Chain A
Amino acid sequence: MKNNIRVERAIMRISQQELADIVGVSRQTIYAIENGRFIPSTELALKLSACFGKTVNELFSLD
C-alpha cells in the first residue's frame, strides 16, 4: 500500500506532530504510516483525507 501523506503534508507545510495533533494520534503513528510500516484503519484514513481535503483513494493506493 502506497500513500502520499508526506507529499500532502509538505504542500500544507505542517509537521508530523501537527498532523498527529489534528487527527488525534501520536507522531510515531504518522511516521509509521508515511513509511509504509503501518496501514491505518478506515477511520484514521478518513480523518487524514478530510484533513488534506482529498479522497481516501487520492491519498492511499495499492502497489
Chain B
Amino acid sequence: MKKNKFLLPYKCQIAGWIILPVSLIAMTLLLNLFLGKISDTAMRCCIILDMILGGLSLMMIAFSEEKSEDEFIEHLRGKSLAIAAGITFTIAIIWFIFLITYNFYGTPDMADTGTMMVYNALNLMSSVFMMFFIYIITLKTNLAIYKWRCNHEK
C-alpha cells in the first residue's frame, strides 16, 4: 500500500514528545527565574530560541508517522487537519474582529499602528501553534478512541 512520502519516521515523533516538555519547562524557568536578572536582549533571544524549539517539536509530532501507518490513519489525519484549520480560522477571525472593534472604540493607545501590528503578528503566530496543538490533540484522541473501541470489541 502506498505511504505518505512527506511524513517523517516514527522516531521523530518520540523525539518531538521529548523536546516539547523540555521547551515548556525551559520557558517556565526563563519567565519565573531569569526575568529581570539577565539583559532584555539575552532574554528575548532565549525566548525566541525556546519558541522555535517548541514549534519544531510540535511539527515533529504532527508530521511523523504512527507505528502502523495506513490509509485509515491517513483519513484520520485529513479529518483532524480540517477540524484544526476550522477552529483556528474561526478563533483568528473572532480575534481580528475584536481587535478592529477595540481599535475603533477602545483606548487611544490601542489605535497606534505599531501596537496593532504587534497584536496581529501575535495572532498569526499563536494561530500556527494553536493549529498544531488542535491537530495533534484531535488525531491522538481519535486514535485512542478507536484503539479503545477495538480492545472492547467482543
Contacts and interface: CB of A to CB of B under 8 A. Distances in A.
For chain B, what secondary structure do more than half of its interface residues adopt (helix, strand, loop), or is it mixed? helix
Interface string A34-46: 0000101101100
Interface stretch (B28-36, B51-59, B64-72, B103-111): B64-72
A29 B153 contact: no
A28 B143 contact: yes
B147 interface: yes
Interface residues of B, number: 13
Interface of B: 1, 68, 70-73, 75, 143, 146-147, 149-150, 153
Interface residues of A, number: 15
B1 A38 contact: no
B103 to A, nearest CB: 46
A3 interface: no
Chain B CB within 10 A, most for which of A26, A32, A38, A40: A26
